[in-house]
Amino acid sequence: MLGEMGMSTISSMFAISKITEALDADGQPQDKSLTKRLGSFLDELEWYQEALKRQRDEKGKPF
């Protein structure tokens, strides 16, 4: 799906400054807020993907 979008950007950011402290050895988050922030980021990304697809389906590509 992302490949279909090209190089679009969204307003949200999802940054992890110290990945070795954010995840344990099994890759599980050490802080519940990480999961919540990721969920919000992915929700916005999905919203944009659906909006871009709908627009492309209705009007075609602008180029």
Tokens 């490949």 map to which residue?
A: 3
Question: What's the pLDDT at 62?
Answer: 78
Give one word for 27, left, alpha or beta, with left for phi > 0 and alpha for psi -120 to 50. left
Which token pair is 27? 């890759």
Question: Could you state, in order of their start, the residue ranges of all structural domains in the chain?
Answer: 31-63
Q: Which residue has the higher pLDDT, 63 or 24?
A: 24
Question: What's the pLDDT at 1?
Answer: 47
Task: Read off the pLDDT of residues 23-59 as tens digits, 9 standing for 90 and up.
Answer: 999 999 999 999 999 999 999 999 999 999 999 999 9
Under 8 Å between Cβ of 52 and 61: no
Q: Which residue has the higher pLDDT, 40 or 62?
A: 40
Q: Is the pLDDT of residue 17 over 90?
A: no
Q: What angle do CA 56, 2, 51 make, to 5 degrees?
A: 35
